[in-house]
Structures are given as structure tokens and as C-alpha cells.
Amino acid sequence: MKPLGLGILGLHHQHPRWYNPLWSHLPQYKPLAMADADEKFLADQNEFFKLDTYTDYNKVLQRDDIDVVIIWLPHSEMPAAVAAAAKAGKHVIVEKPCAANLAGAKAIAATAAEYPDIRISAPYCWRTHPASEKIRGFLAEGLLGPVNAVEARLNAGGAWRYVRDNSLWMLKSSEGGGPMWNLGVHWVDYFRYMTGKEVQSVCGFVTKPVGQPARDIEDNSQAVLKFTDGSVGILDISYSLPDSYPGKRDIFVSMRGQIGDISWAPAWQGVRDEMLLVSEHPSVG
């Protein structure tokens, strides 16, 4: 099978370099070209990537050998890039959270409806984690019973990481916000995917940024969710961990049902996965 030609749109993001080792394990993709409006930065980065380069991403979209693009532009620019790629007949992987506001997300949904033969996706990686497959199996077996409450944390290092990784736009509230918008979406998606529940209402609080770098996004954010079936959820999301924190991430997921509870602490940078299932289902014990 011929690999799909891959184009990269946007380099002022943490993920282009993070993803790069993956392509050698995914032979169905072949990176061919990348685009960024910053010509000097593009040239500097290509010392590492060694691909064809363009300052206008439309030039990438015009290439016949490009089948799919992955978009790492600022959030506010993502919906227009998705629409341009779909119009050019390219499949799309757009980095979460896909847009800087609800209007942008709806625009992407409209593009998907307009081009039904084009696959438009976002890499919500926790869905396909092996532990998630186990949890889905436990839920399908009824080991938790009806799920009444969910909880998740995703606490990462400070906002200085976006200076280090040439992503200063991530420090602007105009790009959607801070950790809740950029990281919290993982767990909003996850709980909808795992349980089929829809969020009905939400209440949240944030803390003001402290110290450098200059930014107008929150450092810490917490939210209480109420789902349409009356169940509840809690999210604790931040850019607040010290650099010495083991594994560089504090990640935790919990689901509580009428007859069981499951908690999962995913691995990150060498920290081992930990999962605990407690159930009073007749098949257990």
C-alpha cells in the first residue's frame, strides 16, 4: 500500500517535534512538506525535519502528492485551514482544541458536513490508550453499574514551556484560554466517548497568572459538570507543576458507579500506569 503523503501546517507549536518519531512507526504516512509563515523559523526548523518548505500553506494544499494534512496553527486560524484543506480534497488531522471559540468549532463541523468524503479528525489520544479499551470493557460488562460521577486531572508544567517551544500565541486568552481550553478538552471528550453522556451545565473557577512569562490566561482551572442524566463530574486542569514533579504530569481519571469504581493514573515519561477496579458485580470475586 502506498503511504499517504503528509503535509504539516504550522510549526509554532510543541507537537511537530513531539510527533516526529511516530512517523517511523506509522508507515501509512510519509511526511513530505511543511508550511509556516515565519520564513526564518521555517528554515531553522527544517534543519531537523528536512522536508519541502513553504511560507504559504496553500502551496502545500496544491500538491497532488499530499493526501492528508496535520494542522498545528494557532487555534483561531485552525477553522479556516481546515476549510481550505477540505476544499483542496485533503484529509485533515487538526490538533485539539481545534478552534479558539464555539463559533470556530461549529465552522469545522460545517466543513465536515459540506465535504462528507473528507475525513476530519482530532487526535484525542486517550480514547485509544490500551487502558481505555479495558475500561470500556468493564463498563460494557456492567462492572460499575450506572455511572454517577466522574473525575479527572491533567496538570502540566508552567506556561514557560510555550516560550521554550516557540508557541507564544498559546499565552493569549484570544486563542481560547489556558489549560482548561487546551488540555481540559481531553477529558470532556473522554467522558463523552466512554459513557455516552452529554454535558448539560458547568460551573468553573480559575486563578490569575503569577510570575513570568507575561500572559493573560489562567494558571489553574477547576470545573464542576452536570450531565443530562443527572450525573456529575469534576475537572482539575492546570499549568502549575514544578519541573521536578515525577513524570512531568499529574494525570488521573476516575469513574464511580452504583456498584463499582475505577481509577486510573496513566503513565507519562517513565511513570507506570496504575489502575484500580473495585466492583460488587456478581461476576467479580
Taking only the tens place, the pLDDT of each residue in 63-115 is 999 999 999 999 999 999 999 999 999 999 999 999 999 999 999 999 999 99
Closest CA to 159 of 217, 245, 73, 101: 217
For residue 168, what is its C-alpha cell?
Answer: 507564544
What mean pLDDT is predicted for residues 241-256?
93
Closest CA to 162 of 154, 170, 174: 170
Residues 6 or more apart whose CB falls under 8 angstroms from that of 163 comprise 171, 213
> Length of the chain in residues, anyone?
285
Which of 121, 140, 164 corresponds to the end of one domain? 121
What is each CA distance from 212 to 158, 163, 175, in whole angstroms?
Answer: 9, 10, 19
What is the DSSP code (8-state) at residue 270? T
Whether 87 and 158 share a structural domain: no
In a domain, 285, yes or no: no
C-beta atoms surrounding 248 within 10 Å: 17
- Predicted confidence at residue 82, as pLDDT, reads 99
Name the domain count of the chain. Answer: 2
Of 49-53, 199-203, 265-269, the poorest mean pLDDT is in 265-269
In a domain, 260, yes or no: yes
C-beta atoms surrounding 28 within 10 Å: 11
Numbers of helices and strands, H then E, in the chain: 9, 13
Cβ 137 vs Cβ 262: under 8 Å? no
CATH code, 192: 3.30.360.10
Whether 132 and 246 share a structural domain: yes
- Predicted confidence at residue 271, as pLDDT, reads 77
The pTM is what?
A: 0.94
Instruction: Encode pLDDT of 185-231 as tens digits.
Output: 999 999 999 999 999 999 999 999 999 999 999 999 999 999 999 99
In a domain, 284, yes or no: no
Residue 7 has pLDDT above 90, yes or no: yes
Cβ 261 vs Cβ 145: under 8 Å? no
Give residue 92's domain range: 4-121
Average pLDDT over the chain, rounded to an integer: 96
Which of 121, 155, 189 corresponds to the end of one domain? 121
Query: Which residue reads 491533567 in cell numbers?
Result: 154
Region of residue 64 (left: phi > 0; alpha: psi -120 to 50; beta: else)? alpha
